[in-house]
Amino acid sequence: MDWFTGTAIYLTIWWLILFVMLPIGARSQAEAGDVVPGTEPGAPLLANIKRKLVWTTVAAAVVWMVLAAVISSGLVSLERPLGGLIPAA
């Protein structure tokens, strides 16, 4: 796996994990009973974005390292991801 492919895979994993992390621990203004006039009641009361970005980066790095190890070991190939089930064109 070259650096460009590795970076593309890492960024894809990072975004997927970010979208999983965003709703974790989020409480809406309506749930807290503190709706600010003029805002959406479903808006988060406290988003903790910085904390979620840090955890997303750590989790994505761990997932990427495991995936890179599997690809480097030869268990999975990026050139033939289905193990040759589909003939190369």
- Rounded to an integer, the average pLDDT of 50-69 is 95
Please check whether residue 63 lies inside any domain of the structure. Answer: yes
57 is in which domain, residue-wise?
Answer: 3-73
How many domains, in total, are found in the chain? 1
Position 86 in a domain? no
How many angstroms separate the CA atoms of 68 and 22, rounded? 25
Residue 47 has what pLDDT? 81
- Residue indicated by tokens 């070991």: 73
Least confident window among 16-20, 55-59, 84-88: 84-88
What is the arithmetic mean of pLDDT over 65-77?
Answer: 87
The average confidence (pLDDT) of the chain is 86
The average pLDDT across 68-72 equals 89
44 vs 32: CA distance, rounded Å: 9
Domain assignment present for 79:
no
Tell whether pTM > 0.95: no
- For the stretch 16-53, pLDDT in tens is 999 999 988 888 888 888 888 888 888 888 888 999 99
How many whole angstroms from its chain centre is CA 44? 20
Classify residue 80: in a domain, yes or no: no
